[in-house]
Amino acid sequence: MVRVVVTGMGAVAPNGIGIESFWRNIIHGVSGIAPITRFDASRHDTQIAGEVKGFDPLQWIEKKEARKMDRFIHYAIAAAQMAYDDSGLKVTDENRERIGVFVGTGMGGIPALEESHRILMEKGPGRISAFFIPSIITNLGSGQISMRFGMKGPNSCVCTACATGNHAIGDSFRIIQRGDADVMLAGGSEAVITPLTIGGFCSMKALSTRNAEPTRASRPLDKERDGFVMGEGAGLMVLESLDHARRRGARIYAELVGYGMSADAHHITQPAPDGAIRSMRLALQDAKVTPSQVAYINAHGTSTPAGDANETMAVKAVFNEHAPCLAVSSTKSMTGHLLGAAGGIESVITVLTITHGIIPPTINYETPDPECDLDYVPNTARQAEVRYALTNSFGFGGTNATLLFRKFEE
């Protein structure tokens, strides 16, 4: 079987842009949640979110081109450039057909859609930009990245709600294992902090309304959790076959060894534990790893009452007597929920956990919940040797994806 390794990473998140800044804030428990500034949210029940701060698309993209793209594409390109530079990869005429892109998004170009609808209503159809459609289509994150670097290998996009990032990375893992590419640039991007989207999630009663305490609002696994906090950003990584990485002398962060995916077949939004259980078990089986070998789980942990209890139940079913020995943290406590980008940014965190031997905390954990009774690494990061680490992403529609990473060994 072809071994697949991680050789580069990029992050755009509410609490940091770039791997160094982002990781520093993650291990120090720095929250990126604040009052919404993108629009007047005073009429919304939820008025807080994890907006990316200090991001200038013109640092990454020429002004003329940036105007043709939605914000989720800006984030995807920035994270892709970071991951590409970090990997030391060089696209050439000789290798470009063996290098692909697989970047997903959960909702696509909602900001551009809302703005174009406003123009339609106020000024008529003749004033709609010719770039409206290419700015909102979900696969244009992948498309723009492939054009930017001249990558002519497999090019695709997955849209599986909050499991998107994990599915994109997992499907890229399979592409390399099949021999269809040597290298894949993979992950997720999302940017939907808009009046319509926040309003829609408010109508579902899915979001926290702890508006007076933004940095304390996202509190996964805590008894007082009252809903998730919307985030935005992008997390991408360069995956490549071990043979290819060795030939070019690449620095290797970690190895991707397992991928599991499943469906709940239960409800459009409410989770069912059997789907999460099968997703984790399939990832372990794929890697030929026993539950007792896993040291850390980066939980989906959204800060919703049902979701966190469901995941805890699933972890206990999969890991049995080993479950209390696991470190389980939800970094959404700091980033908020990046929807389609969650799996990408959390895979980056999981790999960095293995690389640095530091387990990130679950911040805002104050009141234990009897239904959530594992070791959630409360409030303070922990040094630990982590050989195997697992990351979960579960999406609306009952779609589940689990990735299992391993410390790289020859």
Pair type for strands 99-104 and 155-156: parallel
Phi, psi torsion values for 48, nearest 5 degrees:
-130, 155
CA-nearest of 72, 159, 164, 157 to 394 is 164
CB 198 within 8 A of CB 166: no
- Per the DSSP assignment, residues forming a β-bridge with 39 are none
CB 254 within 8 A of CB 96: no
> Any residues with CB less than 8 A from the CB of 117 and at least 6 apart, and which?
none
Long-range contacts of residues 59-65, Cβ cutoff 8 Å, at least 24 apart: none
Q: What is the 8-class DSSP label of residue 108?
A: -
> Any residues with CB less than 8 A from the CB of 156 and at least 6 apart, and which?
100, 101, 102, 139, 142, 171
At 231, which helix (H) or strand (E)? none
* Six-digit token string for 176: 């390399």
Catalytic residues: 162, 300, 337
Q: What is the 8-class DSSP label of residue 28?
A: T
Query: What dihedral angle (degrees, nearest 10) is formed by the CA atoms of 401, 338, 19, 294?
Result: -30
Give me the count of residues in the chain: 410
**Measured CA distances, 331 to 141, 180, 291, 364, 388 (Å):** 24, 33, 22, 11, 18
CA-nearest of 32, 338, 46 to 192 is 338
Distance separating alpha carbons of residues 253 and 352, to the nearest angstrom: 8
CB 29 within 8 A of CB 363: yes
> Any residues with CB less than 8 A from the CB of 342 and at least 6 apart, and which?
162, 164, 165, 188, 190, 231, 300, 332, 393
Distance separating alpha carbons of residues 318 and 275, to the nearest angstrom: 11
Angle at 212 between CA 43 and CA 45, to 5 degrees: 25
* Six-digit token string for 330: 């939800």
